[in-house]
Amino acid sequence: MIVIVCPGQGSQTPGFLEPWLAESRFREQLTGISDAVGIDLVAHGTTSDADTIRDTAVAQPLIVAAGLLTLSALLSDGRRERIAGIAGHSVGELTAAAGAGILSETDAVAFVRERGRAMADAAALEPTGMSAVIGADETELLARLDELGLSPANYNGGGQIVVAGALNALAALAENPPTRARVIPLQVAGAFHTRYMQPAVDGLRTFAAGLQASDPTLPIWTNHDGTTVTDGGRFVELLVGQVSSPVRWDKCMDAFAASGVTGVIELAPAGALTGLAKRGLRGVPTVAVKTPDDLAAAFEMIDAQA
């Protein structure tokens, strides 16, 4: 049982798409996506610096576009039938929605453009950010968050919870972390998946109402609670609500384990979710598809299911 996972914001690094764009088919595909969103993703994936691609309105379309490039290669030549399911982390759920056939590639890209803009606008209202907390006792951490006015944003499993809120409160948490915990600031531009993003929700709901959603043709798990969703319209509703509610990636990984997952393949820009899988799904083989050179290992894993 092979599951494809699609990473979220913060996984991008300067120049990460350069190896992909050396191949004309991927350059043409990315150029088409760039034209659709009105953003030069070719430049942002190759020459833009870290600060530029940290901008939410750039980062989110860039990450989804990278996932779509990877999917186009992975699911060709009849391999789609050997995939047991797909899931995305945060904005990666848009990539997953396209991979599962809920949204067309064009609609997924349009949605992520609007999502990125709306979340960037919401983030600009107050100076906020996010930090990963690793190794904390969850009860102790949640109590500390209450004291500081911070919120849990991503329950990532494997001993990691991402927290979000005011920058001074995040600094206070880093200065006095929970017992045996590490606090690592993340390169994101706002307190995503918290109340700070509520201004983005209404506009996104209106936009999403105009999209054509189909029922998934691949099993797809939701960040909402780790369950599979069989109604495409319901999944789109969850995509809207996800903007201001916590990501339960821990529950997604629990669901993978309960389903008998035998392998995890992460789309570009890969690394974060396979890292979590190594801690939360111990012993399950993983492949992080960072460049086209990694496709061979992914194909081998998929073809072994034949």
pLDDT at residue 187, as a whole number: 78
90 is catalytic: yes
pLDDT tens for 31-56 read 999 998 899 999 999 999 999 998 88
Residue 7 has pLDDT above 90, yes or no: yes
Mean pLDDT of 240-261: 96
Tell me how far apart the alpha carbons of residues 7 and 257 are, in angstroms, rounded to a whole number. Answer: 19
**3-state SS assignment for residue 196:** helix
pLDDT digits (tens, 9 = 90+) for 142-175: 999 999 999 999 999 988 999 999 999 999 999 9
Q: Would you place residue 242 in the very low, low, confident or very high pLDDT band (cuts 50, 70, 90)? A: very high
- Which residue among the candidates 11, 48, 90, 245 is catalytic per the annotation? 90
In the structure encoding, which two tokens stand for residue 231, read together? 């109604």
* Mean pLDDT, residues 291-302: 95
The predicted structure's pLDDT at residue 10:
79
Say if CB 183 and CB 131 are below 8 A apart: yes
Note if 193 is an active site residue: yes
List the domains of the chain with CATH numbers: 2-123+194-303 (3.40.366.10), 128-185 (3.30.70.250)
Kind and range of the H or E run holding 130: strand 128-134
pLDDT band at 246 (very low <50, low <70, confident <90, very high): very high
Can you tell me the mean pLDDT for 178-184? 94
Asked if the model's pLDDT at residue 306 lies above 80, the reply is: no
Judged against a pLDDT cut of 90, whether residue 78 lies above it is answered with no
Q: Which of 151, 193, 224, 245 is catalytic?
A: 193
Distance CA 2, CA 303 (A): 10
- Helix, strand, coil in percent for the chain, rounding step 5: 50, 15, 35
